[in-house]
Amino acid sequence: MTPSGKAEHSFFDQVYQLVQQVPKGRVTTYGAIAKALGSGLSARMVGWAMNGSHSGVNPVPAHRVVNRNGQLTGKIHFGSATEMQELLENEGIAVENDTVINFRELFWDPANEL
């Protein structure tokens, strides 16, 4: 990464472009996005990108990105404590105890889907 942050910005843009492709009613993980972008060890960077995705010009469906166990670990970065869950439920995804029900069946793997 350059001191100006250009590499980080480019990576974030790639993350946003990929997350915009996650279909409604499906979820993916920070790690799956990182792996699809060729940075398998950068799941945390994907999380940081999602934290800042609310300020972008193009809407990024960050609510569709969960941790490897289907848990809504990013929910603290939404407008309210329940907004992430509400957005998922509006797309037909059941959530219980901050975890996506039927996570394995709803998992969208960009490495296989694109």
pLDDT tens digits in sequence order for the chain, 114 residues long: 444 445 556 889 999 999 999 999 999 999 999 999 988 779 999 999 998 786 667 789 999 999 999 999 999 999 899 999 999 999 999 999 999 999 999 999 999 987
Domains in the chain and their CATH numbers?
Answer: 6-109 (1.10.10.10)
Q: 29, 67 in Cβ contact below 8 A?
A: yes
Q: 44, 38 in Cβ contact below 8 A?
A: no
H helices of 1-114, in order, are: 6-19, 30-36, 43-51, 83-90, 103-106, 110-113
The pLDDT of residue 55:
62
Q: 53, 16 in Cβ contact below 8 A?
A: yes
The SS3 assignment for 10 reads helix
How far is the C-alpha of 5 from the C-alpha of 55, rounded, in Å? 17
The pLDDT of residue 6:
53
The pLDDT of residue 58:
73
Kindly compute the dihedral angle of the four CA atoms of residues 104, 109, 112, 114, in this order, to the nearest 10 degrees: 140
pTM of the model: 0.87
The pLDDT of residue 86:
97
